[in-house]
Amino acid sequence: MIVTYTDRGFEIVLQRHHGRLAAAILNQLKWLEADPFKLDVLFATGIHDDTYNEFEVEGIINRFKGPKDFKMESFNLQRCEALLKKGLTRSLYVALLLSFHIQFLYATESDESAQYCKSLQPLQHKWMAELGIDRNTVQAHYAILQWCDALSLILCQDQIPPEGRKLEVSQGPEARSYYVFDKSGSILSVDPWPFTDSEFELTLEYRILPRLEYQNDAIFKESLWESAVHFRKINFAKI
């Protein structure tokens, strides 16, 4: 989950909702117009965090008895395997893109994660041969997934700088940097503009938990389940 400390308590964005927001961002992009793999990239983007369910995982509380932010999570072999299998139930290309995402996240985290990421390479070669595509194509599509993931995380963590200062999102599929910024106090923009429409709106769901300490996972999960869902409208417009 994505945890931001505010003056009202912990603001929580659920991990799978972050994935949905990333998919909503991708759906607005012009990069995949008329692309035969658009649906696969969209699915992979939407489910790239689907093995993390806050109401089911254990160890969701940190050592200070607060909710554990996603940046505190480390490589988990079982979750990586489950993610690949979940991808395969959508399509072979979805699983292939998710394998690239696993490598992006964990290739250098530890010896165990590096070894696992390396072990994915023969499987990737096999899947690319079966799909009849080359690595450059997959890398371009994965760059789009990663870009949407990055922008979604910026929005979920409310990291837009004040006073119109620009924040780099990530490099797009053409290896060009893109920057998000507050255009007018209530409208965001991206430079250069990568979207099909000149303006659009996204909706972010979040929960506020006022308590700062939870004795165990069960108490936190109950509080999370019972908390009200809040909605934040995020408007984008071209410069």
pLDDT of residue 237: 97
Give the bridge partners for 171, in sequence order: 177
pLDDT of residue 185: 80
Quick one: which of 171, 126, 213 has its CA closest to 31?
Answer: 171
Tell me how long the chain is. Answer: 239
> How far, in Å, CA of 182 to CA of 191, rounded?
11
> How far, in Å, CA of 23 to CA of 97, rounded?
14
> Do 115 and 77 form a contact (C-beta atoms < 8 A)?
no
Q: What is the reported pTM?
A: 0.95
∠ CA 128-133-134, nearest 5°, is: 85
Question: Rounded to an integer, what is the distance from CA 70 to the centroid of its chain?
Answer: 11
Residues of the chain with pLDDT under 70: none
pLDDT digits over 96-120, tens only?
Answer: 999 999 999 999 999 999 999 999 9
pLDDT digits over 24-57, tens only?
Answer: 999 999 999 889 999 999 999 999 999 999 999 9
